Structure formats: C-alpha cells, structure tokens
C-alpha cells in the first residue's frame, strides 16, 4: 500500500509540474500546417527545454514501468493457472483483461515513442509527421475500437446482426431487430 501512495505522489507531482508549465505564457504546443506536426512554443527558453527533457524521461520511464507491471501480471496469472489441477483455459476474464491492457499499452507505445523520440529513428518526411499526428489525434477512437473488438459479447452481437443463412436458395436474415425475418428469393 505504501508503494501505491509513493507512485501516486510521483505521478501527481509530475502532472502538476507539467500543468503549471503549460499555463505559463512562454510554454505550450501548437499544431503547424507548414510542417504538419506539433511544435513547442518558444522551445529555446530554459523552462521549455527542461519541460521537454522531463517529458522524455517521464515517457520512457512510464513505458518501462508499465511493461514490467504487465510482465509481472502475466507471470502471476500463468503461475496461478499452473498450480491448479484444471487445464489452462484462455477464456478466463483475467486473460481478457490482460490482453485488453496489452493492446492499449502497445497503442500508447506507438503513440508516445515516435512523438518523443521519432526524430532519432524515423525518416524525415511529411508523411511520417502526418501519420504520427493522425495516431495522436485519433488515439481515443482507436483505443475504444480496440476495446470493442476484444469484447466477445459485443462482437457476437454485432456478427449476429449481419448474419444470413441460406436454405434451398432462399436467404434468411437471422439477425436481431424489428426486421429479423426478412426473406429474399434467389434464383440461379
């Protein structure tokens, strides 16, 4: 429990620092259409240089800590499953939650690493910056779509809406809804 409070204190301290820095008039980020990328406002000031360094350290450290946590959780789940006499099944809820978390973690890595360190390993082209900006802009949408695709119950309901069956050349719409028994005659 003590570790939890220490980590929360560190997170709130860093978040408060970045929040206060971006409230000052000499700091901030703007999206420029000339370069099709995010750029820092007055990035030559000492305050912004320190903030950029802090953001890079926080980004890489948080990704590393999150990766270690996911590996530990995966190890504990596997260890728990190996200690039981029942066969290992992947349909358990903890595996689904872990898989969902790993998908979100991978998307965060795809979003954060190119933004913070992209100039060191990505080619310098307008398409790279547009792709990076699109990933950044559509993060909430892609994250929610990923979570919806991993939801088994929702995926089954969605497929049931668009399911058709054929009996003797007659197509039956077996989906749900007000028009669930539409019949279409097909002649070949």
Are 41 and 88 part of one and the same domain?
Answer: yes
CA 13, 54, 45, 22 torsion-angle sign = negative
Are 50 and 133 part of one and the same domain?
Answer: yes
Are 107 and 183 part of one and the same domain?
Answer: no
Convert the pLDDT of each residue in 10-42 to its tens digit. Answer: 888 888 887 888 787 777 777 777 766 677 777
Are 102 and 71 part of one and the same domain?
Answer: yes
Are 67 and 114 part of one and the same domain?
Answer: yes
Question: Rounded CA gap, 109 and 101, in Å?
Answer: 12
Angle CA(63)–CA(64)–CA(70) in degrees, nearest 5? 90
60-97 in b/e form (b: 16+ CB < 10 A) is eeebeeeeeeeeeebeebeeebeeeeeeeeeeeeebee
Question: Rounded CA gap, 115 and 135, in Å?
Answer: 10
Q: Which residues pair with 172 in a beta bridge?
A: 165, 183
Query: How many structural domains are present in the chain?
Result: 2
Question: Residues near 47 by Cβ (< 8 Å), separated by ≥ 6?
Answer: 21, 24, 26, 27
Residue 178 has pLDDT above 80, yes or no: no
- The residue ranges of DSSP E strands in 76-126, in sequence order, are none
The boundaries of the domain holding residue 32 are 2-150
Are 126 and 175 part of one and the same domain?
Answer: no
Convert the pLDDT of each residue in 50-72 to its tens digit. Answer: 877 888 888 888 888 888 888 88
Are 61 and 96 part of one and the same domain?
Answer: yes
Are 28 and 107 part of one and the same domain?
Answer: yes
Are 30 and 91 part of one and the same domain?
Answer: yes
Q: What is the chain's percent helix, strand, coil content, to nearest 5?
A: 65, 10, 25
Q: What local confidence, expressed as pLDDT, does residue 168 receive? A: 61
Q: What local confidence, expressed as pLDDT, does residue 129 receive? A: 76
87 against 188, higher pLDDT? 87
Q: What local confidence, expressed as pLDDT, does residue 187 receive? A: 45
3-state secondary structure of 45: coil
């Amino acid at each position: 429990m003590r570790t939890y409070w220490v980590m929360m204190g560190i997170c709130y301290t860093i978040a408060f620092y970045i929040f206060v820095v971006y409230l000052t008039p000499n700091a901030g980020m703007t999206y420029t259409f000339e370069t099709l990328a995010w750029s820092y406002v007055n990035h030559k000031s000492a305050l912004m240089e320190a903030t950029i360094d802090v953001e890079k350290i926080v980004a890489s450290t948080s990704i590393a800590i999150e990766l270690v946590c996911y590996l530990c959780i995966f190890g504990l789940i596997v260890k728990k499953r190996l200690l039981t006499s029942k066969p290992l099944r992947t349909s358990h809820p903890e595996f689904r939650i872990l898989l969902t978390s790993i998908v979100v973690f991978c998307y965060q890595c795809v979003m954060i690493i190119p933004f913070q360190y992209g100039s060191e390993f990505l080619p310098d082209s307008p398409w790279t910056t547009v792709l990076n900006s699109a990933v950044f802009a559509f993060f909430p949408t892609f994250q929610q779509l990923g979570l919806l695709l991993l939801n088994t119950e929702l995926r089954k309901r969605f497929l049931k809406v668009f399911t058709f069956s054929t009996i003797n050349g007659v197509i039956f719409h077996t989906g749900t809804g007000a028009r669930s028994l539409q019949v279409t005659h097909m002649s070949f």
